[in-house]
Structures are given as C-alpha cells and as structure tokens.
C-alpha cells in the first residue's frame, strides 16, 4: 500500500488536545505503537488540525506553525474553513 494522508479538521478541540501544552495546532501522527510495545511507521499518516486554536492565533496575528511566527497562506485558508463569516478572516483572504 502506498502512503496516504488522513486529515482531521476539528472545529472545537477535544479535551486531550486542549490539555496538551503546545502552541502548535497541527499534530502529525506517524508512528503506531501497540500495547505490547511493538512500534512501526504508519502507512496512513494521520494529521489533526485544531481549527479553533488556529483561528485564535490568527486573530492575535500569530502562527506557531510558521518559522517566522506570522500568519501565512495555509493559516489563512484554515481560518476560512474555521469561520467563513469572520470579518477579519474574509477581508484578509480577499487580499491573497
């Protein structure tokens, strides 16, 4: 089987993501570990995107996923998905 991506967009982050202390809002799962301790790379990579956390950072002019910490095109696109009616998001996406 060739590699595949499964991207899960969460509008409201679940408790496990809220409790995990990280500024990042994109979480890439690439390893599978069994209860017996066997571990191997996943063929289907699973990526969780916390849209609520992303939107919060965007509104504050921050982006923990970019090298320079500033909003970028990916974050702006994710914000449109998170809240298409947000005035700041829709006005700035018109400028892309």
**pLDDT for 88:** 67
Tokens of residue 15, six digits: 């408790």
Q: Under a CB-based contact definition with an 8 Å cutoff, are residues 90 and 55 in contact? A: no
Q: Under a CB-based contact definition with an 8 Å cutoff, are residues 8 and 49 in contact? A: yes
pLDDT digits (tens, 9 = 90+) for 76-89: 899 889 887 777 66
**pLDDT for 72:** 93
pLDDT greater at residue 91 or residue 36:
36
Burial category of 40 from C-beta neighbours within 10 Å (exposed 0-12, middle 13-18, buried 19 and up)? exposed
**pLDDT for 90:** 59
- 22 has pLDDT over 80: yes
Short-list 54, 58, 56, 46, CA closest to 8: 46
pTM more than 0.95: no
- 18 has pLDDT over 60: yes
């Amino acid at each position: 089987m060739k590699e595949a991506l499964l991207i899960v967009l969460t509008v409201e982050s679940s408790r496990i993501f809220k409790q995990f202390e990280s500024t990042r809002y994109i979480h890439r799962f690439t390893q599978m570990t069994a209860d017996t301790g066997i571990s191997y790379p996943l063929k289907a990579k699973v990526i969780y995107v916390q849209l609520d956390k992303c939107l919060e950072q965007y509104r504050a002019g921050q982006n923990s996923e970019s090298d320079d910490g500033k909003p970028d095109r990916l974050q702006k696109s994710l914000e449109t998905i998170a809240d298409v009616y947000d005035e700041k998001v829709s006005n700035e996406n018109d400028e892309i």
